Amino acid sequence: MKKTFDFIRKNQHVLVFILIVIAACFISTEMFARAGGGGGSRSGGGGGDGLGELIFMLFMLLPFPFNYIAIAALLIGVFVFSKLKKQGSILNKVPTNQVPTKRDNKGLASFIQMHPDFNEEAFKQKVGMAFTEIQNAWAAKDISKARRFISDGVYQRFNTQFKMMNILSQRNELEKLTIKSITIDKIVSDGTFDVIHVGILASTKDKFISDKYPNLNETFFEEFVEYWSFIRKTSASGKDMYSTQNCPNCGGDLSGSAMGDVCKCPYCGTFTNSGEFDWVLAEITQADDYVTTSHLHDMSNTLANKIEEISDSDKEFAVQLIEDKASNGYLQLQTARVFKDAKIMKRFVSNDFYNKFEVTMKSDDHFVYNRIFLNDVTLIGALQKDGKNTLAIAIKSSFQKVRIVNGKAQLLDVAVTSKNEVMMMSKDIITEENKGSLYAHQCPSCGGTISDTTDMNCPYCGNLLNSTKNEWIITDLMSQQDYLNYFKGNSNLFIANVNPKKLDALYKVRDFAFNNVLVMIAIDGVFDVEEISYANKLAKKWGYAPSKLEGMIDMARNNQLVIRMPESKKDCEKIYKLMHKAAAIDGHISPEEQQLLDSIKQQYL
Ligand SMILES: [Zn+2]
Ligand SMILES: [Zn+2]
């Protein structure tokens, strides 16, 4: 030990020089990401500029060997802190315009152990066929040809968008659709089902056209990553529903059958999308949503394991199925709002909620969704109250509303904007057997097919349709903030829950701000030099990988990014200021930019 001290004492000038050089390296590389701070990262403080000076002062002021210990501790601290900072932003993990590489091999391995006959290449071929068939169906505004292998929730997503597009005389042409890669991201088990999440990199020229309201027309060439989630019963028979249009049960030709709301073979009455035969498309998620919410889905699967009381009485309980019902019901509510027609949703909701919803629906001005997407639907909590199991499901949607005035379409939302809500669904603890899904237009009590009706009793068995005896019924829809309050007041009733504060936990203030600044500079359809250099400057300042920025700008240009705002009002104010600065960067604020700023001020500040 003494020898070491002597060595250090003799060579201390050389050593301090080396330390200062190391410090300088931190300043020029690692520290660059946060030099000057900015946005929400300011509290992290410090700044690298004074580091060399600080080391010199520590060296001079502290007695030997404490000066060296202090300097070493300081450097380790700075190193760890800068590493944490760099990994900090979730936006760096969004795969944009590149083959998604993140892959969870653990789930895949245990799935293959259970299903040794699983052929990854054959599965990917199915995904490719599904992708092409669905994009064609989308462009033709007719999903019936793909109906046999999509869930009721996915069907309703398409159906709702088609209804809106029909009101606006819109169609969406896709040209040069190319799949560039298909990657299995992860496989999870969910009740008696398996779920495979697949990343798809593709490109297309995308044209929204309305002859009646040409101001809504948009064209972009986009390369994009989407995650498609497929579900199948663990005990599935392994039939192929993709390379054939025939019923997997009786072999009947389904190509001309125009299956719609009900996914039922007209010959044998089998529901082809039950997961008993082949993989069923259950969800489509955009890259940015997939990355930011995947931790929530992991938690929600853990949560499902805790809800034993529910799965005991409901053998078919699976998180993905509940989320599918929630998506379906949520979209029925939105359709009812647009058509101002309560019968569309009445049978899916409790009487109390119906009365509450009807009041808001009637006070709404007339509007149509120019865009409506469900970004993410996640089970976040379960509680028991009044003899019922109640599930809380977080719903992130994004939308752009328009109003038709004197034959013209006026934008009510300047940009596509996202919203977080929580939907509550209830079912009796002591349940009766479910004979069919209400969300697939079946009577849960007898399985009979029911049409859109205001009659609240099944025409076959007379059972009350919105009864919680044998189906999950929507009992409330609230804002994220209202849910936090509800959770505080009822936390003793919860059997399991994901901390509601974690809903947006991965988005930091700078992520919201950076995302919104990009939407802001894309809003007038012009990306000029000042705007791009401002975006570059912000990216550097906030620690975003330069390679990501190009993809993010492309996403903004192609209207793939939506306005996102956090719950905290103080954070909203910071974000508004940064967006204002971005709008004014090229010397003037365009009318579109001003409109977006005004609408944010009005809605969030
Ligand atoms: Zn059949
Ligand atoms: Zn019935």
pLDDT score recorded for residue 98: 67
How far is Cα 53 from Cα 61, in angstroms, rounded to an integer?
12
On whether the CB atoms of residues 541 and 38 are closer than 8 A, the answer is yes
pLDDT score recorded for residue 62: 82
- Each residue of 504-524: pLDDT tens digit? 656 677 788 888 888 888 887
Question: For 252-319, what is the HEC assignment?
Answer: CECCCCCCCCCCECCCCCCECCCCCCCCEEEEEEEHHHHHHHHHHHHHHHHHHHHCHHHHHHCCCCCH
On whether the CB atoms of residues 583 and 593 are closer than 8 A, the answer is yes
Interacting residues of 511 by C-beta distance below 8 A, sequence separation 6+: 89, 90, 91
On whether the CB atoms of residues 378 and 394 are closer than 8 A, the answer is yes
**Which has the higher per-residue pLDDT, 259 or 10?**
259
* Closest to 436 in 3D by CA, of 274, 216, 223: 274
The alpha carbon of 470 and the centre of ligand 2 are apart by a number of angstroms equal to: 11
The alpha carbon of 432 and the centre of ligand 2 are apart by a number of angstroms equal to: 13
Q: Which helix (H) or strand (E) holds 66?
A: helix 66-88
How far is Cα 198 from Cα 90, in angstroms, rounded to an integer?
20
How far is Cα 272 from Cα 152, in angstroms, rounded to an integer?
11
The alpha carbon of 467 and the centre of ligand 2 are apart by a number of angstroms equal to: 11
Average pLDDT over residues 227-248: 91
The alpha carbon of 449 and the centre of ligand 2 are apart by a number of angstroms equal to: 8
Mean pLDDT over the full length of the chain: 82
Interacting residues of 386 by C-beta distance below 8 A, sequence separation 6+: none
pLDDT score recorded for residue 36: 24
- Each residue of 46-89: pLDDT tens digit? 334 467 777 777 888 888 888 888 888 888 777 666 554 444 56
**Which has the higher per-residue pLDDT, 576 or 95?**
576
Three-point CA angle 526, 529, 531, nearest 5°: 65
User: Which listed ligand is nearest to 457 at the C-alpha?
Assistant: 2
pLDDT of 248 > 50? The answer is yes
For the ranges 27-31, 33-37, 152-156, 413-417, the lowest mean pLDDT is seen at 33-37
Interacting residues of 567 by C-beta distance below 8 A, sequence separation 6+: 420, 480, 481, 484, 504
pLDDT score recorded for residue 91: 66
The alpha carbon of 231 and the centre of ligand 1 are apart by a number of angstroms equal to: 20
User: Which listed ligand is nearest to 253 at the C-alpha?
Assistant: 1
Helix axes 351-363, 319-339, angle to 10 degrees: 40
Q: Residue 508 burial by CB count (10 A; 0-12/13-18/19+): exposed, middle or buried?
A: buried
The alpha carbon of 157 and the centre of ligand 2 are apart by a number of angstroms equal to: 26
The alpha carbon of 448 and the centre of ligand 2 are apart by a number of angstroms equal to: 5
- Each residue of 476-497: pLDDT tens digit? 999 988 998 999 899 898 888 8
Q: Which helix (H) or strand (E) holds 478?
A: strand 473-479
pLDDT score recorded for residue 80: 65
The alpha carbon of 573 and the centre of ligand 2 are apart by a number of angstroms equal to: 53
On whether the CB atoms of residues 237 and 277 are closer than 8 A, the answer is yes
- Each residue of 290-335: pLDDT tens digit? 887 777 777 777 777 777 666 566 667 888 899 999 999 999 999 9
The alpha carbon of 444 and the centre of ligand 2 are apart by a number of angstroms equal to: 7
Q: Residue 232 burial by CB count (10 A; 0-12/13-18/19+): exposed, middle or buried?
A: buried
For the ranges 145-149, 442-446, 554-558, the lowest mean pLDDT is seen at 554-558
From the CB of residue 116, how many other CB atoms can be counted at a distance below 10 Å? 6
What protein residues have CB closer than 5 angstroms to ion ligand 1?
247, 249-250, 252, 265, 267-268, 270
210 to each of 167, 172, 335, 497, 597, how far by Cα in Å? 10, 9, 20, 44, 27
How far is Cα 300 from Cα 338, in angstroms, rounded to an integer?
31
- Each residue of 11-53: pLDDT tens digit? 666 666 566 555 554 443 333 222 222 222 222 223 344 677 7
520 to each of 169, 314, 349, 523, 559, how far by Cα in Å? 28, 47, 38, 5, 11
pLDDT score recorded for residue 288: 81
Q: Which helix (H) or strand (E) holds 71?
A: helix 66-88
Average pLDDT over residues 397-408: 92
pLDDT score recorded for residue 54: 78
The alpha carbon of 152 and the centre of ligand 2 are apart by a number of angstroms equal to: 19
Three-state SS for 132?
helix
Three-point CA angle 247, 325, 191, nearest 5°: 80
Three-point CA angle 132, 109, 233, nearest 5°: 60
On whether the CB atoms of residues 282 and 319 are closer than 8 A, the answer is no
**Which has the higher per-residue pLDDT, 560 or 5?**
560
How far is Cα 222 from Cα 206, in angstroms, rounded to an integer?
7
User: Which listed ligand is nearest to 269 at the C-alpha?
Assistant: 1
User: Which listed ligand is nearest to 249 at the C-alpha?
Assistant: 1
- Dihedral-angle region of residue 275 (phi above 0 means left; psi in -120 to 50 means alpha; beta otherwise): left
The strand ranges marked E within 211-240 are: 218-233
On whether the CB atoms of residues 336 and 369 are closer than 8 A, the answer is no
How far is Cα 540 from Cα 546, in angstroms, rounded to an integer?
7
Average pLDDT over residues 269-298: 87
Q: Which two tokens stand for residue 437?
A: 């899904």
Token pair 């199991």 is at which residue? 389
From the CB of residue 99, how many other CB atoms can be counted at a distance below 10 Å? 13
- Each residue of 162-186: pLDDT tens digit? 999 999 999 988 888 899 999 999 9
